[in-house]
Amino acid sequence: MKTAIKAKVLLLATAMFAAFSAHAGDVMPPTLTPGATFEFHRVDGFTGAENQHWTLTFQGMKNGNYAYSGVNREGKYTVYRSKNLNNFAVDKKTGEVSEAQILRWPLTVGNSYSYQYQGNTIKVNVTDFEKVETPAGVFDAYRIKLNGTWHDEDNYSGPWYEIYWYAPSVGFFVKIEYSSADMLGRHLQWRKTELIKYTIPSVQASPAN
């Protein structure tokens, strides 16, 4: 009897692992079709008040980067993301490129690394593949947590963390949560960015070779 129970438990665990692996396999950067549109808002985590609202529309690849046209309350603008779908900055004097390496491909649960961005060390952990709820719906997403330390001109500092949920079915982040504290651990900032709605002509999350 005990042997039969153990066998059932082992079979169940194996099935659950197989199902998880099938849905959370390593993925590569998405292949988007121009016209894919993503609408976001950012709210104060303490009050729930909306303080930003914008829409990004994918225009295509330009010089190997993802190019988006954006619209917010101030007007229109252009956004470029690296070939890895990360934000980046270019030093106007030296031409040196600094990339916020939130995403490293293939994306795999358990990945852990750190990188330097504009003089700061940021630690990254891909902690889970889970369901996340947003105003645009519920998505299966990779949970990516960043940890770092903020500094100001008065030599004050404190810890911060940021969590990104990347949904392969959308080809973009569907939720971002940021929180910071002072040296005594008191909460300073807490904000949430969420996908409100989206339109995708075509998106493909390519499996790793």
User: Using an 8 Å Cβ cutoff, are 112 and 125 in contact?
Assistant: yes
Q: Read off the pLDDT band of 183 (50, 70, 90).
A: confident
Both structure tokens of 152: 């100001």
Q: 173-205 b/e with 16+ CB inside 10 Å = b?
A: bbbbbbbbbeeeeeeeeebbbbbeebebeebeb
Q: State how far the Cα of 133 lies from the Cα of 147, in Å rounded to an integer.
A: 23
pLDDT of residue 140: 98
Helices vs. strands in the chain: H and E counts, helices first: 1, 14
Residue 60, token pair as written in the block: 């295509």
Q: What percentage of the chain reaches a pLDDT higher than 70? A: 84
Residue 13: CB partners within 8 Å, gap ≥ 6?
A: none
Q: Is 35 helix (H, G, I), strand (E, B) or coil?
A: coil
pLDDT of residue 172: 97
pLDDT, tens digit (0-9, with 9 covering 90-100), for 31-80: 999 999 999 999 999 999 999 999 999 999 999 999 999 999 999 999 99
Is the predicted pLDDT of residue 206 greater than 80, yes or no? Answer: no
pTM higher than 0.85, yes or no? Answer: no
Q: What is the mean pLDDT of residues 92-103?
A: 92
Predicted local distance difference test score (pLDDT) of residue 15: 36
- pLDDT score of 21 more than 50: no
CA torsion through residues 128, 134, 138, 141, sign: negative
Per the model's pLDDT, the better-predicted residue between 92 and 172 turns out to be 172
Quick one: CA dihedral 135, 87, 113, 153, positive or negative? negative
pLDDT of 25 reads: 66
- The token pair at 69 is 């046209």
N- to C-terminal Cα separation, the chain: 43
**In angstroms, rounded to a whole number, what is the distance separating the alpha carbons of residues 132 and 191?**
16
